[in-house]
Chains A and B, each alone.
Chain A
Amino acid sequence: METECRADAQLSDYAARVLEQVAVAPGCRLLTVSSPGLARAASPGQFALLGCGTGYDPFLRRPLSFHRVDLKRGEVSFLYRVKGVGTQWLAERRRGDVIPVLGPLGRGFRHSDRGKRGLLVGAGLGAAPLLFLAERLAGQAWSLTVLLGATTKTGILRADAFGRFGTVKTVTEDGSTPKKGTILDLLQEELNGGGWDTIYACGPRVVLKAVQEISARTGIPAQISVEERMACGLGACLGCACRSASSPGYLRVCREGPVFDAGEVILDD
């Protein structure tokens, strides 16, 4: 079920009905909603603002990236970690419940539609926006390697799903997967092999900063998905500032991002 404010508008506040909600790892959930209009409009790397709770507390909506879109069935999935009040409320939604979902928002991943070699880097929950991207790229004959890293084995998310679109390599800091180390170790090994056209990365700032540095050093174009606290999600409130690398001042993560070219922004601590 969905409502559209204006028939011609793609961006809308959709009343999305929950189809399914499953735990994929401790504290991590996969939420699938029915919203054909949103499914049609969404692209990889874009996100939505989900209304949480019915009163004024929590007050702000929560930004979540599109994890998967099933166009035929009109379904949209989110992969998220239960962190605080907002995501806790989302975790309690059951089949049939309705969630207000404002989207699609922001600028997603850019890519050539002629197959190339892509390296996807997903650190922890950073896997969330990459599955949608992997499916899109694989559909355009890209050859993909997906690197998934986490502190421990249960933090490696959706490896099977990624396996349908490319080669998956995993790493954990505690060695609970065959390979022990950080995702940056794994990334360095892959780069030594050479031949990559683009790196797409999502995860904690330390990982994104390392990817920025690698991209600058090797000249391999990279795109990073950045997070910042948001209020409007539409570019109106200027709340989600990220420092611009090319001019003094800030860019809006919700509008010029959340996916930036690696050289476009300066990630402060």
Chain B
Amino acid sequence: MIDLSVEVAGIRMQNPILVASGTFGCGEEYSPLLDVGRLGALVTKGITLKPWQGNKPPRICETPAGLLNAVGLQNPGVDAFIHEILPVMKGYGVPVIANIAGFTKEEFVEIAKRLTGAGVDGLEINISCPNVKSGGMALGTVPELAAEVVEAVVESTSLPVIVKLTPNVTDIVALARAVTDAGASALSLINTLLGMAIDIKSRRPVLGNVLGGLSGPAIRPVAVRAVWQVSQAVDVPVIGMGGICRGEDALEFILAGATAVAVGSAHFRDPLAAMKIISYLESYCEENGINDWQKLIGAAWKNK
């Protein structure tokens, strides 16, 4: 069998297929349906310092080829995560990346400190969540502020630090450069696009939170563009995500410059999406006689 293994931010993965934060629970939810241990890595739901209730419903609204969500970072807080959720996630034998969300720089640092040595393999800093009022995306849209957070987290932990970027900015490359200079070892892109929907019968916004984050195939071209631009501008690996549903989509992101990809909303349509994508990549490499699949990374701009 072809070797699809890859290293991202010093984290060794058996293949480049991850799950996107917030879409796959702690793995346990999907485990009756598939072998969670086949994934490249698991990524947690956003973790805050204190338990967080999340937004009032409705939190989900289907849109053309995708959905809006306004879950709003519901999670039991970092301490409960470490004691109750992490042991379950580690049981699958694949790396666990903790997606962390602070409302201030100090909170990001505190969460990072508590997770250091707790057993996670890396941190994914979520400075891009559109569903919370402060922190979240606000910190992630101004390059200087984002860089400050990243620098503080990098200093406070020995874990690899991946930074997840929002597409809701004018210049994602400037943001990518700023956080890479501040010490990020990899970048995840993209988080959801800010959107909303109005119910024409009630004449009111559909989501309890009014605004939500758009995900699914509808945002794929935006994500491919972001990966294409950012991967050419920085030297750290990029984890690509946004609407990946099929093996062909994953390949498109890799060709655009992603070293690994994450599958999110696709699981809502097909719970086996990530498994099928892994199988596709294996047979694609075999059928095309590709021994070193990493030659495909960024091939779309490398082979001009």
Contacts and interface: CB of A to CB of B under 8 A. Distances in A.
Interface of A: 5-6, 9-13, 51, 55-61, 100, 102, 228-243, 248-250, 255, 268
A59 B23 contact: no
Ranked 8 nearest A-B pairs via Cβ: A236-B25, A239-B60, A56-B65, A236-B29, A234-B29, A229-B60, A231-B268, A11-B32
Interface in B27-75: 29-30, 32-34, 45, 51, 53-67, 69, 71, 74
B268 A59 contact: yes
Contact of B67 (A13, A59, A234, A248): A59
Contact of A60 (B53, B245, B268, B271): B268
A102 B55 CA distance: 27
Interface residues of B, number: 40
A60 B25 contact: no
Contacts of B23: 232, 236-237
B74 A231 contact: no
Nearest to A231: B268
Given A59-B67, A236-B24, A237-B22, A228 B271 contact: no
Contact of B58 (A228, A233, A243): A228
Contacts of A233: 268
Contacts of A234: 25, 29-30, 271
Most buried by B among A6, A229, A233: A229
A56 B23 CA distance: 17
Interface in B179-227: 216-218
A250 B29 CA distance: 17
Contacts, number: 123
A186 to B, nearest CB: 28
Most buried by B among A56, A100, A242: A56
A13 B62 contact: no
Contacts of B30: 234, 236
A56 B217 contact: yes
Contacts of A230: 60
A241 B74 contact: yes
Given A237-B23, A241-B74, A56 B216 contact: yes
Given A59-B269, A237-B71, A255-B29, 20 more contacts: A13-B33, A13-B270, A59-B67, A59-B216, A59-B217, A102-B271, A229-B57, A229-B58, A232-B29, A234-B25, A234-B29, A234-B30, A237-B22, A237-B69, A237-B268, A239-B69, A240-B59, A243-B56, A248-B53, A250-B74
A84 B34 CA distance: 31
B2 interface: no
16 contacts: A5-B33, A11-B32, A13-B271, A59-B265, A229-B60, A231-B67, A231-B69, A231-B268, A232-B267, A234-B25, A238-B22, A238-B71, A241-B74, A248-B53, A249-B53, A268-B56
A235 B71 contact: no
B126 to A, nearest CB: 15
B118 interface: no
Contacts of A11: 32-33
Interface string B259-288: 000000101111110000000000000000
A238 B59 CA distance: 8
Nearest to A244: B53
Interface of B: 22-25, 29-30, 32-34, 45, 51, 53-67, 69, 71, 74, 216-218, 245, 265, 267-272
Nearest to B64: A57
Given A232-B29, A234-B25, A242-B57, A57 B74 contact: no
Contacts of B45: 238
B281 to A, nearest CB: 20
Nearest to A242: B57
Given A56-B245, A229-B57, A250-B54, A238 B74 contact: yes
A203 B54 CA distance: 26
Nearest to A53: B269
Given A12-B33, A229-B60, A5 B272 contact: yes
A229 B33 contact: no
Contacts of A248: 53
Nearest to B66: A59
Contacts of A12: 32-33
Nearest to A236: B25
B65 A241 contact: no
A13 B276 CA distance: 14
A257 B63 CA distance: 25
Contacts of A241: 54-57, 59, 71, 74
Contacts of B271: 13, 102, 232, 234
A233 B30 CA distance: 10
Nearest to B26: A236
A105 to B, nearest CB: 11
